Structure 1
Amino acid sequence: MLTVSDLQMRFKAVRAVDGVSFSVRPGETLGLVGESGCGKSTTARAIVRLLEPTGGSILFQGRDIAHARQRELRPLRRDLQMIFQDPYSSLNPRQTVGQIIANPLIVQGISGVTAKVGELLDMVGLIPEHADRYPHEFSGGQAQRIGIARALATRPKLVIADEPVSALDVSVQAQIVNLLEELQRELGLTYIFIAHDLSVVRRVSDRVAVMYLGRIVEIGDRHALYDSPAHPYTRALLSAVPVPDPKVERKRERIVLQGDPPSPAAPPPGCSFHPRCPQAKEICSVERPLLQVHRDREVACHFPLQPDDPSAGRPG
């Protein structure tokens, strides 16, 4: 359904996205994880063309939309929608909920707007009477449901969820995740699910892509990636996920990376992770590793971890 190749987003000297490539299959959920500032949200906004990519291609349903004109994108937006992180900042405070959800229907020339708005509200767990109220009258979880209803108004095929639960309380997060899973089953949706909560990503995703400093360093099946990470950064990232069992938590290895992430304005030569990598060798500071098939996934590392390597044991 979607193939991103060598995607680049630069803001003057800052390489926010630096050669990202991945594909998304119909009906699956691809999780996209990484530290804050690694380029996850910028990648999402470039895919839906809220930002103009500075390089690469975005093949959506067989058509390259990376540099398509806005009038060419309008019919494609019916099949490609986005759910934003902060529901309040993404909803127009001067419009009623009904107007907000109706906007994409009107733009796409879809008839029966009033009835469809009521159906969409019911679909996300709200009631038709909510259509006459304004966003500030709703809780965070309800506001995010409105954002989801707006994204689903045109019955899209691919939905990019950009940290849709990070601004919500933990109890509400579970409700929204359950809703997204139910909607995927009912409507046959395909998701790109962006989050920094690795536990949520593991639950909802079929495959997971790990980003570091604007690049994907590992991508593969969620079970294989979580149980036996091949990239040193993935292993360090997973070791930071808390485990509910106190006995397991006390015994497992916690990997603490030294130093801060490099600046995207001045990335290090070679592998961007090598200044913080405990396994870095001379080649890592000179030659940039490319994504290559390793075991059952793709890894951008000169010395990927092996399952029988003591240092590559399960991080918990």
Structure 2
Amino acid sequence: MIIGKNLTKIFYHGYIRKTKIVAVNNVSLKINENETVCLIGESGSGKSTLGHLLLRLIKPDKGDIYFYNSNITKMKEKEIRKIRKYLQLIPQHPDLSLNPRWKIKKSLLEPLILNKIENKDEVLRRVLYDVGIKEELLDRYPHEVSGGELQRVIIARAISLKPKFIVCDEPTSMLDISTQASILNLLKKIKEEYKLSYLFITHDLDVAKIMGDKFLVMYRGEIIEENDNLEKPLHPYTEMLLNRKRLLENNGNVNNGCKFFYHCPYAEEICFKEEPPTVEVNGKKVKCFKYLK
């Protein structure tokens, strides 16, 4: 349904001595219809950048993105606007996604007006019902609404255009535990009712287990594991995440070798010298020399 092939995104920081940051490095992935793929990794691993690439909010430096067999990578902005409503984002900070000077109703109506949707009031009533928002909330400003209600507003706005694919970028990380559970249940319900596909970005493996049909593990810009069962991790980094261990700050240069070399309990000389290949193990994939023995 949506496919990324060999996606790479590089950012440069600084004016005099520019620092090169490879946020996404040669990543390929596929998300099928009505499937939730959880993208797991610590902060700074490139998860959000990859999500923004798939939505074509930013352009890749290399690689291609296909949405229902159409290559959207090189589409002009006018062409992208025609399919934008099918590609939506639910961000980590809902308050930053809404105009603080607008009442909730105006923010919800904005995408419907921009896309020239008829029967706007009927669509609005439907999405309010679907996400569990009372109409009295429409006359409030974002600062007058709780975090959980605000996230429901963002979800309502996203589904109002009947999208096909949504990137959920840490949508519950700023919420308390009880509110998290209700939002996760809502997202699962909405997925089934609207027949959606999700890329669900999270650093929380417990949340990933609740939401995911398939799991991608990202480390320093690369997908290092693809698995459908987090209880049986393949990569040493995934094992570390499951054991709630934190990395030391040693991200030293390993030349062309494995980026996880300095943290890996199984590291050998070849791991320092050569980049590990992607190996298939019982239908799953992992980027590690451990499985070539």
Is 1:3 the counterpart of 2:10? The answer is no
| RMSD of aligned residue pairs (Cα, Å) | 1.7
Structure 1 residue 305, shift from structure 2 partner = 9.5
State the partner residue of 1:151.
Answer: 158
Length-normalised TM-score, structure 1: 0.86
Structure 1 residue 106, shift from structure 2 partner = 1.7
State the partner residue of 1:239.
Answer: 243
Is 1:262 the counterpart of 2:264? The answer is no
State the partner residue of 1:77.
Answer: 84
Q: Equivalents in 2 of 1:227, 1:17: separation in Å?
A: 26
* Unaligned runs of at least 5 residues, structure 2: 13-19
State the partner residue of 2:73.
Answer: 66
Is 1:110 the counterpart of 2:117? The answer is yes
Asked whether the equivalents of residues 83 and 159 of structure 1 are also in contact (C-alpha less than 8 Å), the reply is yes
Q: Equivalents in 2 of 1:261, 1:127: separation in Å?
A: 50
Q: Equivalents in 2 of 1:218, 1:188: separation in Å?
A: 26
Length-normalised TM-score, structure 2: 0.93
Asked whether the equivalents of residues 254 and 261 of structure 2 are also in contact (C-alpha less than 8 Å), the reply is no
Q: Equivalents in 2 of 1:23, 1:126: separation in Å?
A: 33
Q: Equivalents in 1 of 2:256, 2:7: separation in Å?
A: 19
Asked whether the equivalents of residues 279 and 291 of structure 2 are also in contact (C-alpha less than 8 Å), the reply is no
Any idea what SS the aligned residue of 1:304 has? Answer: helix
Asked whether the equivalents of residues 118 and 131 of structure 1 are also in contact (C-alpha less than 8 Å), the reply is no
Any idea what SS the aligned residue of 1:271 has? Answer: coil
Percent identity of equivalent pairs: 40
Is 1:294 the counterpart of 2:281? The answer is yes
Structure 1 residue 129, shift from structure 2 partner = 2.8
Structure 1 residue 120, shift from structure 2 partner = 1.3
Structure 1 residue 261, shift from structure 2 partner = 5.3
1:181-216, CA deviations, whole angstroms, 9 ceiling, x for partnerless residues? 111121111111111110010111000000000000
Matched residues, number: 286
How do 1:2-81 and structure 2 match up within 5 A?
Answer: 2-12=2-12, 13-81=20-88
Q: Which amino acid aligns with 2:291?
A: P
Q: Which amino acid aligns with 1:262?
A: N
Asked whether the equivalents of residues 232 and 304 of structure 1 are also in contact (C-alpha less than 8 Å), the reply is no
Asked whether the equivalents of residues 210 and 234 of structure 1 are also in contact (C-alpha less than 8 Å), the reply is yes
Is 1:212 the counterpart of 2:219? The answer is yes
Q: Equivalents in 2 of 1:198, 1:189: separation in Å?
A: 22
Cα distance change on mapping 1:97 and 1:123 into 2, 3 Å: same
State the partner residue of 2:272.
Answer: 285
Q: Equivalents in 2 of 1:24, 1:90: separation in Å?
A: 25
**Once superposed, which parts of structure 1, at least 4 consecutive aligned residues long, lie more than 3 Å away?**
none
Cα distance change on mapping 1:9 and 1:267 into 2, 3 Å: farther
Cα distance change on mapping 1:92 and 1:256 into 2, 3 Å: closer
Structure 1 residue 177, shift from structure 2 partner = 0.2
Q: Equivalents in 2 of 1:267, 1:59: separation in Å?
A: 33
